[in-house]
Amino acid sequence: MPLLREFVAGRGLDAGISVTEGCGHATDLARAAVAAGCTRVVSVGGDGTMNEVAQALVGTPVTLALVPCGSGNGLARHLGIPLAAPAALALAAEAGARIATIDTGTANRRPFFNAMGLGFDAEVSRRFSQNPRRGLPAYAGTVLRLFARRRSEPCLISAGAEREAIEVLLIAVANSDQYGNGAIIAPGARVDDGRLDLVAIRPVGLLGAAELGARLFLGNLDRSRLVRHWRGARFRIERPAPGLIHTDGECHEEGATIEVVVLPGSLRVAAPAV
């Protein structure tokens, strides 16, 4: 907080600083900023904070700026936004910054901007959110602890005219190419192409998990026989029963059917020059 106050004062910015007080408060604050006529709203935090702020800006002329302070920072990394706070703040305050117009994904109308998921993916997000430790080592530890109790489930995936029944460990639907920290879940994905990437991972043992882990960071996950990859504007995921999903790492209980839809070019984000 002192860094933010010093930055605003040092630049002589016409800006206010608000602190969130709980789940959903960032959305309320961002909506109030839009109503007050602000032209740029800065999210200082992780992917969950980014999601709450961004959903208030979808479809408006207001620009989102990111100062990433989370564990993954997937959207910020994808867009090339600096991870160091001083550089990210400088970009956020730059009047002439490039404005990237990106897509929004929705899962049963819940917005996401980086990725959503279900199955093992959602369970990891839930457990990690309860872990007071942050960062990649803590996330990896959560994955390893849960892997011993992993369960798969049959799903029916509809992508356009194609329908496929598949047994999955997890399903991720990505807007950007990565979870964060260089973990590329959807190689080739772009946030501005009007499409989302659905990645379904079949049940795996230890050797398969080791292969997928290596491919995740090498950027060639889609080359594995254990992975199915679709790209499209709309998906339907049907599973046996209601359960958990996550949107940008925030977990929710949802029904057995998940309708995933892209809203093309719906959010403005301050980004570095290409």
The residue from 52, 123, 153, 250 that is catalytic is: 250
Instruction: Give dist(CA 58, CA 114) in Å, integer.
Output: 14
CA distance 268 to 274: 16
Does the active-site annotation cover 250? yes
Look at residues 227, 252, 229, 234 and name the one whose alpha carbon lies nearest to residue 242: 252
Strand pairing of 63-68 and 40-45? parallel
CB 204 within 8 A of CB 169: yes
Give me 30's structure tokens: 């961002």
Phi, psi at 44, each rounded to 5°: -110, 105
Contact present, 178 and 77 (Cβ < 8 Å)? yes
DSSP H or E run through 195: none
H and E: helices and strands count for the chain: 8, 16
Find, among 37, 55, 2, the residue nearest to 250 by Cα.
55
Tokens 């006529």, located at residue:
37
**Secondary structure of residue 231 in the 3-state scheme:** strand
Q: Which residues are catalytic, by number? A: 250
